[in-house]
Structure 1
């Protein structure tokens, strides 16, 4: 099946995937699934992760794989930043602390009505997790 933007399945699948690479993609996979992402697919090329898709329970997905310096689609590990919407942010903050994530910004209430925190994963990517679900779409 060809999943295109015009396909009727597009409404059930994310249309935007934050994408990054990791020096140790297996450790990244463990960290992110322990944080709460759900493994959708992991394709391997020998001992490297060629492509992984993880889904966030509240909606949305990310894609990543092992770092491939010089490849056509190469991103320096540790440079991504992603915001995750969640309702159970206090529990996720406790989980992130137990996982040994670097706390960049502790759990706090914001002046725009969100409860959120920011961590860095073992690769250095930033993850802000909060209750702010964005503004309604104007489309």
Structure 2
């Protein structure tokens, strides 16, 4: 992503039982940057984390509310995130306690990638595959 690229317009979102703990993990293990966290005490109403190469995620505390219009269950999120240094990120993530589900490997479609679980059980795959060019 270039410096002139527009801001991301798709924001993956997730809920967590321990949102503040998950934010710390995502920053320490994967290198997300905390942009903003709204809430009091253990409850996070809204948080935004930026990925250094562009894009980001939003998250908040799970709610025990039958009328919740955004009732996502913790541990049901999954994302593929592009990184330039797969092996260094793998070392960082495992040192921070990420549970490995797939060791770093080279794929037939030209990507090197690995997969881990965060403490909430969400699935994260990191690789250097940037996707195919979008046709005009």
Could you state the TM-score of these two structures normalised by the residue count of structure 2?
0.90
Q: Look up the match of 1:72.
A: 69
Moved over 3 A (4+): none
8 A contact 2:15–2:72 mirrored in 1: yes
User: Unaligned stretches of 5+ in structure 2?
Assistant: none
Distance 1:78 1:126 in 2: 8
Q: Does 1:19 align with 2:19?
A: no
Question: Quick check: 2:17–2:61 contact (8 Å CA) kept in 1?
Answer: yes
**Which of 112, 118, 123 is residue 120 of structure 2 equivalent to?**
123
Aligned to 1:41: 36
Say whether residues 1:109 and 2:110 are aligned partners: no
RMSD value, Cα: 1.1
1:91 and 1:56 map into 2 onto residues whose CA distance is 16
CA contact (8 A) 2:32 2:52 kept: yes
Shifted more, 81-90 versus 62-71: the winner is 62-71
Tell me if 1:51 matches 2:46.
Answer: yes
Structure 1 residue 61 corresponds to structure 2 residue 56: yes
| Equivalent residue pairs, number | 129
Cα separation, 2, equivalents of 1:138 and 1:66: 38
State the SS of the aligned residue for 1:75: coil
Structure 1: tracts of 5 or more residues without a match: 1-10
